[in-house]
Amino acid sequence: MSEEEKAGIGHNSDNTKDVGGIAGQRLQSFIGRIERMEEEKTALAEDVKEVYAESKGVGFDVKIIRKLVSLRKMDNEKRREEEELLDLYMTAVGMS
Amino acid sequence: MSEEEKAGIGHNSDNTKDVGGIAGQRLQSFIGRIERMEEEKTALAEDVKEVYAESKGVGFDVKIIRKLVSLRKMDNEKRREEEELLDLYMTAVGMS
Amino acid sequence: MSEEEKAGIGHNSDNTKDVGGIAGQRLQSFIGRIERMEEEKTALAEDVKEVYAESKGVGFDVKIIRKLVSLRKMDNEKRREEEELLDLYMTAVGMS
Amino acid sequence: MSEEEKAGIGHNSDNTKDVGGIAGQRLQSFIGRIERMEEEKTALAEDVKEVYAESKGVGFDVKIIRKLVSLRKMDNEKRREEEELLDLYMTAVGMS
DNA sequence: ACCGTGGTTAGCTTTC
DNA sequence: GAAAGCTAACCACGGT
């Protein structure tokens, strides 16, 4: 990946400064930031997979762990939504 | 729902020691690790959104930046695949 | 949309019979079926919107109704997942 | 969670008569209608999947059919404009 | 120059 | 080869 960065922003050889001016540089900066974050996300996703693999390696059932994680997540979301609903009710009743 | 919770088959707090023993602790650890990573992923996704918002704030068209990022990603993937193919060729020819 | 359909299967002018033979007809049939279903889905989505609008018209808070519907949906999903989890446990223990 | 349910602020069954009166019935009706339509939508989505599966079963490439459907769905004019705009940006940034 | 946001859907990847 | 989970694009609605 470092090659591409050194080479410019893309798959062609044009230098950005010449054609895009200051806006082009700015755009490059945005794209660079986004791409770095996306890479981190990908890395994390891989780490998660490794953890599942490890858990499987010590005898756990991956499917079950997934369900557990999923249920815990649903719990949190449900709780959050219920709180929001309560807020809505209170607002509707003028108790906000 | 309360039945399941009482039955202990659920995903709830600290019944681990009793029913799972050491394995339960291990399981908890896996789940905790996974959840932490998932949170990080979520946080990164939010950061990415913020960058898009910022870029929009200075006049860029978000849709287009998304397209650019996506195109660049495809470029990289394609190049990677081509390199892998090249490696295969070299291996096949004994130049690995 | 009707123009495209008259023109053939796509965004070009070739007639399917000529270029695709029997397979082309079959393909057309699949695409037609899919598109009809998608239209129905769209129509239903519009109906749902109308119901929300109607409920708003008689004084209900749309946001609240949306949350209620959403929570009920989460309930169902959660229940379903819990049952699946139970199945997984039973399978794991050999009681399947 | 059990607290909310006991408190009656939730989304649960037949506390409607008591707390909501005629309005509660009306609300129930709206929610029921919406849920039925949503179920129909879900059923249709499943049907669509089946059609794709069937088409695959007789030798078509699902990916390609999806693309065809998607292309047909796209508004040509809009697509052209987006491409032109994208070209402009790519030129500006030197990715032409 | 209406923006932000949430919800919905589709498609891609990976798993078994 | 089927099935599932994850991710991302799209769209419409509400609010300000």
Q: Tokens in use for D35? A: 């849920």
pLDDT given at position B76: 85
pLDDT given at position A16: 52
Cβ atoms of residues B60 and A27 within 8 Å:
yes
Residue B24 pLDDT exceeds 70: yes
pLDDT given at position B18: 63
Q: Which helix (H) or strand (E) holds B34?
A: helix B16-57
The tens digit of pLDDT for each residue in B71-94 reads 888 888 888 888 888 888 898 898
Task: Find and give the residue nearest to F6, measured CA to C1'.
Answer: A45
pLDDT given at position B12: 53
Instruction: Give the pLDDT mean for B15-40.
Output: 87
Task: Find and give the residue nearest to E1, measured CA to C1'.
Answer: B59
- Say whether the CB atom of B41 is under 7 angstroms from strand F: yes
Q: Output B80 or C57, whichever has higher pLDDT.
A: C57
pLDDT given at position B8: 47
pLDDT given at position D38: 94
Q: Tokens in use for C21? A: 């033979």
Q: Tokens in use for D72? A: 């047909």
Nearest 10 degrees: Cα torsion C91, B11, B18, B8: -70
Residue D79 to residue D84: CA distance in whole angstroms: 9
Rounded to whole angstroms, what are the CA distances from D51 to B84, D40, D56, D63?
Answer: 36, 17, 8, 13
Question: Which has the minimum average pLDDT: A7-21, B73-87, C45-59, D44-58?
Answer: A7-21
Residue C40 pLDDT exceeds 90: yes
Of the pLDDT bands very low, low, confident and very high (cuts 50, 70, 90), residue C49 is very high
In 10 A of CB B78, how many CB atoms?
Answer: 11
Of the pLDDT bands very low, low, confident and very high (cuts 50, 70, 90), residue C61 is very high
pLDDT given at position D2: 47
Of the pLDDT bands very low, low, confident and very high (cuts 50, 70, 90), residue A54 is very high
Q: Output A25 or C14, whichever has higher pLDDT.
A: A25
Radius of gyration of chain B (CA): 24
Cβ atoms of residues A80 and D2 within 8 Å:
no
Closest CA to D5 of B5, C55, C66: B5
Q: What DSSP character marks residue C8?
A: -
Closest CA to C73 of D38, A64, A22: D38
| Angle subtended by helix axes D16-57 and C62-93, to nearest 10 | 60
Are A12 and D91 in contact (CB < 8 Å)?
no
Residue A62 pLDDT exceeds 50: yes
- Say whether the CB atom of B58 is under 7 angstroms from strand E: no
Residue B44 to residue A41: CA distance in whole angstroms: 7
Q: Output A33 or D90, whichever has higher pLDDT.
A: A33
- Say whether the CB atom of A72 is under 7 angstroms from strand F: no
For all residues of chain D together, what is the average pLDDT?
79
Q: In angstroms, how far is the first alpha carbon of chain C from the final one?
A: 52
The count of C-alpha atoms lying within 13 angstroms of the C-alpha of C91, restricted to the half-sphere facing its C-beta, is 9
In 10 A of CB D57, how many CB atoms?
Answer: 8
Residue D31 to residue D16: CA distance in whole angstroms: 13
Rounded to whole angstroms, what are the CA distances from D59 to A46, B71, C9, C26, D49?
Answer: 34, 30, 18, 11, 16
pLDDT given at position A8: 38
Residues of chain C with C-beta less than 8 angstroms from the C-beta of B1: 78-79, 82
CA of D22, C1' of E8: distance in angstroms:
32
Q: Tokens in use for A49? A: 């997979």
Instruction: Give the pLDDT mean for C55-60.
Output: 92
Cβ atoms of residues A61 and C88 within 8 Å:
yes
Q: Write the secondary structure of A6-30 as one string of H (helix), E (strand) and C (coil).
A: HHCCCCCCCCHHHHHHHHHHHHHHH
Which amino acid is located at D57 in the chain? G
pLDDT given at position D75: 66
Percentage of chain D beyond pLDDT 70 is: 72
CA of B18, C1' of E9: distance in angstroms:
43
Cβ atoms of residues A95 and A86 within 8 Å:
no
pLDDT given at position D56: 92
Q: Residues of chain C whose C-beta is under 8 A from some C-beta in D?
A: 1, 4, 9-11, 26-27, 30-31, 33-35, 37-38, 40-41, 44-45, 47-48, 51-52, 54-55, 58, 60, 65, 68-69, 71-73, 75
Cβ atoms of residues A14 and A8 within 8 Å:
yes
Cβ atoms of residues D33 and C51 within 8 Å:
yes
Are A12 and D95 in contact (CB < 8 Å)?
yes
Are B1 and C78 in contact (CB < 8 Å)?
yes
Cβ atoms of residues B35 and A71 within 8 Å:
no
Instruction: Give the pLDDT mean for A31-37.
Output: 94
pLDDT given at position A94: 84
What is the pTM for the complete model shown? Answer: 0.81
Rounded to whole angstroms, what are the CA distances from B86 to A1, A72, A92, B80, B81?
Answer: 18, 46, 66, 10, 9
Largest CA distance in chain B: 66
Burial A36-57 (b: 16+ CB within 10 A, else e): ebeebbeebeebbeebbeebee
Q: Output D26 or B17, whichever has higher pLDDT.
A: D26
Residue B49 pLDDT exceeds 90: yes
